[in-house]
Amino acid sequence: MGDILGLVGKRLGLGLIILLIISIIIFFMVELLPGDIAQAVLGQGATEDNLRALRKEMGLDQPAIVRYLGWLRGAVVFDFGNSIVTGESVAHTIGERFLNTLFLATYAAVIAVPVSITLGIIVALLRNSIFDRVANVVTLSFISSPEFFLGYILILYFSVNWGMFPAIASLSDDMTLIELLERTFLPALTLVLVVMAHMMRMTRAAIINLLSSPYIEMARLKGAPPWKVIVKHALPNAWAPIINVVALNLAYLITGVVLVEVVFVYPGIGQALVDAVSKRDFPVVQASCLIFAATFILLNLAADVGAILTNPRLRHPK
C-alpha cells in the first residue's frame, strides 16, 4: 500500500510543479507587454500623473518578482486582487460564476459519462457492422462541429421551433432544482453531444485494442461464453483506459464550456474570462486562466492516479 501512496504522491508533486510553472507563465506573460499594464489600460492619451497614480495603485513600482510572490500568496487563498475595470474584488466576481460553471459541467458529465461508455462498448462489440459505421460518421460530425454550431442548432429547434426549453440560461437564486435543470438543459445538452462523441470514440478504440489481445482470444478458444469473456476477462483490464477516457474528457469539458456559456449567455467563469479579455481586465484574465489550468491539471492528474490504481503493471515500474 505504501508503494501506491508513494507513486501517487510523486504524481501529485509533479502536478504541483507544473501548476507553479504555469502560474509563472500566466503572471509574467503580462510583463511582456510593450510598456506596462498601466500604459495598456489608460491608452496613448494618458498623462504622466495618471500613469504614476495607477502604477502606485497596482503596485507596479515594485519589482516583478515581489509582485509575483504576492499574487501567488493571494491565489492560494483565492484572493486575486481587484479588477481594473470595475474595481471590485476578482474573487467575488469569479467565485460564484465558477460554481455555476462547475454545476453545468457536472450536469453534462452525469448524463454523458454512463451513456457514452455504454454506447462505446456496444459499438466496439459490433465493430465493422453498419451500426458501427453510422456511429463513426455521426460521432465524427459532432466532433468536427464547432460548439457554437451545435448550440445554435439546439436553440433553433428546441426553443424557437418547438418552444420546449429556454434559449437563454439566466439563473436566479430562488430557483428550485427542477427549474434550474430545465433552464440549463440546452447548454448541458450541447456539452453532452460534443463530449459524448469524443468519449465514445475513445472507449471504442480502448475496448477494441483490448479485445484484440491474445488472452481474450485464448478465453474465446477455450469456449467461454461471450458475456463471460467481456465481464470476467475484458472488463477488469478495461477500467484503466475507461477511467482515463472519462478524466480526459472532463478536462476537455472545461474548455468546451467557454464557448457554450457565451452562446447561451450562461453566467459562468468562461463568459467572465471572455469579457475580461475584450476589456483587457488583466487580474480577471489571470485569475480565470489559473483556475481553468488548475482544474485541467487536476483532472489529468486524476486520470493518471486512476490508471495507477487500476493497473497493477504501473505500480511496479521497471
Closer by beta carbon to other proteins, 113 or else 287 = 287
Question: Which of 70, 146, 236, 312 lies at the binding interface for other proteins (CB under 8 A)?
Answer: 146
Q: C-alpha cell of 162?
A: 418547438
Q: Is 255 in the site for other proteins (CB under 8 A)?
A: yes
Question: Which of 64, 66, 110, 140 lies at the binding interface for other proteins (CB under 8 A)?
Answer: 140
Q: Which amino acid is at 132?
A: D
Question: Which of 8, 30, 60, 180 lies at the binding interface for other proteins (CB under 8 A)?
Answer: 30
- For the stretch 53-61, contacts whose Cβ atoms lie closer than 8 Å and that sit 24 or more positions apart, written own/partner, are 58/84, 60/36
Quick check: helix, strand or coil at residue 268?
coil
CB-CB contact of 198 with 252 (8 Å): yes
The pattern of x and - marking residues 257 through 276 that bind other proteins according to CB under 8 A reads -xx--x----------xx-x
The pattern of x and - marking residues 148 through 167 that bind other proteins according to CB under 8 A reads xx--xx-xx---xx-----x
Across-strand partners of 116? none
As separate numbers, helices (DSSP H) first and strands (DSSP E) second, the chain gives: 15, 0
Residue 60 phi, psi (nearest 5): -75, -10
Q: Is 137 in the site for other proteins (CB under 8 A)?
A: yes
Residue closest to 108 by CA, chosen among 203, 194, 175:
194
Site residues, other proteins (CB under 8 A)? 18, 21-22, 25-26, 29-30, 32-33, 127, 130, 137, 140-141, 143-149, 152-153, 155-156, 160-161, 167, 205, 208, 212, 251, 254-255, 258-259, 262, 273-274, 276-278, 280, 282, 285-286, 288-289, 292-293, 296-297, 300
